[in-house]
Structure 1
Amino acid sequence: MKNGTTILIVDDEPRTRQGLKKTLETWAASGCEIVTAENGDEALDIASKRPVHLLLTDIRMPEMNGLELIKAIRAGGSDPVVVLLSGYSEFEYAQEGIRLGVVNYLLKPVQKAKLLEAVEEALRVAKERLRTGAMEKIVDKELAAMREEDRLVPQPIQEAIRYIEANVKQAVTLREVAEHVHLNASYFSSLFKEKTGMTFSEFVVRGKMQAAKKLLYSTGMPIADIAEEVGYATAKYFITLFKEYEGMTPSQYRKELPDR
């Protein structure tokens, strides 16, 4: 995780602040943007105008200390990965940092090797957070809840679900799937609703929408191609359904996803 990544250094000591910036700019080689602030208020102003992926902040600063800054940034809607810097080794700071989810704690004067090691680890954590956040956004909670109760679902319904998922590109019908699992269509329909908590058609659409969300995140495919990939003949109908289920168009959804 480098391209498009912003690292914010906050320290009231100019020499420390500029030294850290110079070290990280040399290391990043234009892969990250390194910005600095001399106090908490300036840092909050920066964070309000742009995403901050990694925050390196001194603990002891006038007016607003580093721990207060972390809380204020999060209250403002940002949640960067944090590395704390301090010239003091008081244990209570480390304890509070742990409670706030700080990933590392460096004592001043910071050794170059330790700084770069801490930053690389923090960026790995940031990347994993983004990936996890994207996966949570992609996963259909209704489908996930149903799968948690999979052991309670009869074998024919489990087989039907596997068939539907394997044929996400096709316009599968209730009668087709009922025949596949050797059940009467009417009985299959009522059994499917009883055991999954959703109608056959709702399950099919939810499955297609989840497949579409994965493609929106993991590929740059045009919307029309994604519509075709999940079994819809026209992009217009796909977009209508997607908006009905997700509350936004596929293009809007893609824009809101974190970078891969």
Structure 2
Amino acid sequence: MMFKILIIEDEKPLLDKMVNNINWQKHGYQIFQAVNGLEALSILQDEDIDILVTDIQMPGLNGIELVNKLREDYRDIKVLIISGHAEFEYAQQLIRLGVNEYLLKPFRSQRLLEAVNEIRDGISRENKDKEELASLRNELSVYLNKNVRNDTLNWLTDDKFFENQSIIINNNQLYQLIKSGSEEELLKEVDHILKHIGGLKGDRQGLFILLNNLVLFTFQALKELGYDYQDMIKKIDNVYLEKVINGDNLLDLEKWLKDFFLDVNSMVTCPKNNQNEILIEEVKEHIKKNYQEGITLTELSQHFNVSSGYLSKLFLDYVGENFTDYLNMIRVNKAKELLKTTDKKIYQIADEIGFNDSFYFSSWFKRLVGVTPTTYRDNLEFL
């Protein structure tokens, strides 16, 4: 995938240097250039630009005005500011507006490339996060339809409440704080987010968008860390939230958010071993009830909302054998019972206990029992 960069600089020699001193195509970039903000806007109307590299002081439309307009019309574009020493305070102001990076003049071409690469890597991480969040929303929608009245928590899965709030919510920082289990630091980050709530007073949809992003990302973080985020759904009192938001009672909303994240912190700081043991026992019980189905590790991990790698490691740690060995041991034990109590053919037993291939079943049976199913049945009187 080629990333599109628009470089804006009114000093032509510097613009030529930035465009020509780096083999942009080799590094996966397509370059567009403009000498002022107005020319840049024309290009932005025709091209899906990923990264904007812009000077601050420009004729017609300066860097600050351009970034403000970008935030209104092209909010997904990442911005790198290039600034002279005298303009440093402007650059700081732009960073507060959501600019991703800045460079002070003069700078080497290699430093420009490094800064752009950092932004590109951030875009890739964001795209991965979006894919994971989309998957989580689908998973959550299925869960809510099965367990909760359909319209009760629709703000968690409704597209109109799902918007990028990365300027307000630092997802990576929030993830690290949830992972750390530090209640004090987590509440500091929540306080930072709450500062933006005052500006949403009277904006019902804006408040639900903020809640949607906060709650969904928290669920995603819990899932990645191996916790059951569905336990947190039970703590969301939607009737209360509707009442608070419709009544513009922001103090109560702030209290709810703090209580929510205190519950999250309690989940993370709860002894993990106990949770893991409970999870493994639930998984084993699920296998015993459904061994005859085509169970896979991937399906199990989706059912219990953990990653397949995490579940595989837990199985080995707590059961002492891998998932496949355990599943087939359950199946073979059932096969031994059927061989003793019925006259069903080998292929019928194989199909009944979840093996689609009788030869595959026989090989597993011999591996675990020491003889083939036929030999086992023929020698039952000696067992």
Aligned counterparts, 1:50-199, within 5 A: 50-140=47-137, 141-142=140-141, 143=143, 148-150=229-231, 159=282
Runs of 4+ in 1 over 6 A off after TM superposition: none
Question: 1 or 2, which has the higher helix percentage?
Answer: 2
What TM-score results when the alignment is normalised by the length of structure 2? Answer: 0.37
Q: Which has the higher contact order (CA 8 A, sep 6+)?
A: 1
- Match of residue 21, structure 1, among 10, 19, 23: 19
- Checking the alignment, whether the CA contact within 8 Å between 1:44 and 1:73 is kept in structure 2 is no
The alignment-based identity, stated in percent, is 34
> Aligned with 2:113: secondary structure?
helix
Shift of the alpha carbon at 1:163? 5.2
Give the partner amino acid of 1:68: E
What TM-score results when the alignment is normalised by the length of structure 1? Answer: 0.53
- 1:5 maps to 3
Structure-2 change in CA distance of 1:128 and 1:18 (3 Å): same
> Aligned with 1:61: secondary structure?
coil
Shift of the alpha carbon at 1:68? 1.6
Shift of the alpha carbon at 1:149? 4.2
Whole-angstrom CA distance in 1 between matches of 2:134 and 2:30: 27
Structure-2 change in CA distance of 1:135 and 1:41 (3 Å): farther
Structure-2 change in CA distance of 1:103 and 1:77 (3 Å): closer
> Aligned with 2:125: secondary structure?
helix
Structure number with greater Rg is 2
Aligned counterparts, 1:218-257, within 5 A: none
Whole-angstrom CA distance in 2 between matches of 1:163 and 1:99: 50
Structure-2 change in CA distance of 1:100 and 1:39 (3 Å): same
Deviations 1:129-162 (A, max 9, x none): 2222232233214446795342769x89x959x9
Note the residue ranges of structure 2 that are not aligned, 5 or more in a row: 144-215, 236-277, 296-301, 306-383
Whole-angstrom CA distance in 1 between matches of 2:56 and 2:97: 13
Aligned pair count? 167
Deviations 1:17-46 (A, max 9, x none): 12101123x144272101101111221222
Shift of the alpha carbon at 1:110? 2.3
Deviations 1:206-241 (A, max 9, x none): x89x9xxxxxxxxxxxxxxxxxxxxxxxxxxxxxxx
> Aligned with 1:102: secondary structure?
coil
CA RMSD, Structure 1 to Structure 2 (Å):
3.6
